[in-house]
Amino acid sequence: MEERINALIAEYSSQGIHRTGTEIDHQSADWLIEKIAALGVQVSDTAFGFKRVEPLLCSLGISGLTVTGVPLYDCSYTDAKGIRGCIGPLGSDADIGVATAPPFENSESGQAIYSARRKAAHRAIVIVSDKDLPENGPALFNAEHFSKPFGPPVLQVAHKHWPEIQLAIASSSVGHFTLQAKYVDAIARNIGAKITGKNPQLAPLVIMTPRSGWWQCASERGGGIACFLEMMRAIKESEPKRDVIFTANTGHELGHIGLDHYLETHATLVQDALLWIHLGANFAAQHDPGVRLQYSDEAARSRLRPWLEKNSIEPDAETPAGERPLGEARNIFDGDGRYLSILGRNGLFHHPNDLWPDAVNPRETTKWINALVALGVELAGSGEHAHKEPNQGAWGTAETDSDLKTV
């Protein structure tokens, strides 16, 4: 298994930058289709149109230095002439506000940036990647509001430029800020699969993973995609009782637009499924790792525990049931569905250095995938029903007592 996982992550990483609706995104979709078909599993390819951001000129000019970067994909943009104005800290009265931040909107600095955007406190904003990330390359924020852009133009730049930008702030220098981009018609694709169970009356098990991101995303996305295919392989061989539905959605970095599109056409599946297993970000990470598990209820947590113990692994954190989870699991939470979710911390999160092999911990990744594969086979082969009955908890009834036992 470890050899297969390594090969899958290496191939995914080598494809290039996995931004939604780009040529590489389409090549990656075709690659995933080939992998699924090779397992003998029924595959689907669902395309939908959207407006893709195409950056043109994205830079900050200060004191003879031109700093290039990447736009925040849910902001406004300038024309080719850009904006000239003084540079100062975020929250000051400067035309161009500057802040350092890790690539998380829910961090303290991320919230300050969000507030400044909502208030239009500056004519433009520059986000400098946090000092804890590699200095050569910007670690990008997800465009959580891609469908409803707001606020002033925002440029994201690498931490290596921070000394020069600090000098410009200290001297109240005038900067030339340009964030020119255009929207182009594009196609995004969700790749799906289905393994038909022996008893179609049983609620389906759903396994989902995002497949897009800002850069090569070896440890961010590679673990989830490898687990997706390993679960498919094992469940197919197990001849499951229930249908198992797989969906690998694009648009993760753009506010989950791929999953949103999927749920629009599968609205009842959120609550009808026995469980959604979300294979999220970063659990393959080598640098500053920290696996987090998220569950809709204690029953879901209990079903995974034996497989964690068997593989001698423990999460670094757990999101309490009832608290809105991170990642795509939040879409299932919002729809009152049942879920189990894995994701984690990553010292190369959203950074171009997230590359195979240095960014990935193959041995630990294999342990987590092995546990999830075992759980998937167990649930796919059980006779449990999804609906809740009085005093029966989250998992409902089973066809026989043996169906409730851990195998």
Query: Does the pLDDT value for residue 163 go beyond 70?
Result: yes
Is 387's pLDDT higher than 70?
no
381 CB-near residues (< 8 Å, 6+ apart) = 238, 240, 241, 407
pLDDT band of residue 63 (cuts 50, 70, 90) is confident
Beta pairing, strands 317-319 & 290-295: parallel
pLDDT value of residue 384: 81
Q: How many CA atoms lie within 13 A of 367 on its CB side?
A: 14
| Of the candidates 21, 1, 18, the residue with the CA atom closest to the CA atom of residue 222 | 18
Across 349-362, average pLDDT: 98
Distance CA 125, CA 11 (A): 36
In the numeric block, which tokens belong to residue 188?
A: 């995004």
Q: Which pLDDT score, from 0 to 100, does residue 71 have? A: 98
Q: How confident is the model at residue 278 (pLDDT cuts 50, 70, 90)?
A: very high
Stated as kind and residue range, the H or E segment containing 341 is strand 339-345
Whether pLDDT at 385 is above 80: no
Q: Helix, strand, or coil here: 287?
A: coil
| Mean pLDDT to the nearest integer, 107-120 | 97
- The whole-number pLDDT of residue 386 equals 60
Residue range 185-229, pLDDT digits in tens: 999 999 999 999 999 999 999 999 999 999 999 999 999 999 999
Q: How confident is the model at residue 389 (pLDDT cuts 50, 70, 90)?
A: very low
Asked if residues 394 and 300 have their Cβ atoms less than 8 Å apart, the reply is yes
pLDDT in tens, 7-25: 999 999 999 999 999 999 9
The dihedral sign for the CA sequence 166, 214, 132, 115: positive
222 close to 59: Cβ distance less than 8 angstroms: no
Average pLDDT on 253-260 reads 98
Q: CB atoms < 10 A from the CB of 108, how many?
A: 10
CA separation for the pair 156, 141 (Å, rounded)? 8
Q: Which domains does the chain have, with CATH numbers?
A: 2-51+186-404 (3.40.630.10), 57-184 (3.50.30.30)
For the chain, give the mean pLDDT. Answer: 94
> What type of residue is 131?
K
What pTM did the predictor assign? 0.94
Q: Is 142 exposed, middle or buried (0-12, 13-18, 19+ CB in 10 A)?
A: buried
**Per-residue confidence (pLDDT) for residue 317, from 0 to 100:** 98
Confidence check: pLDDT of 396 > 70: no
Position 133 confidence tier, pLDDT thresholds 50, 70, 90: very high
Strands (E), 329-390: 339-345
pLDDT, position 183: 98
> Is the pLDDT confidence value at 113 over 70?
yes
CA–CA separation, 118 vs 47, rounded Å?
A: 33
Q: Which two tokens stand for residue 377?
A: 């086979």
pLDDT of residue 64: 87
Question: Is residue 152 pLDDT above 60, yes or no?
Answer: yes
What per-residue confidence (pLDDT) applies to 407?
23
pLDDT value at position 390? 33
Q: Region 281-295: what's the mean pLDDT?
A: 98
**3-class SS letters over 167-194:** HHHHCCCEEEEEEEEEEEEEEEEEEEEE
pLDDT of residue 344: 97
Average pLDDT over residues 88-116: 97
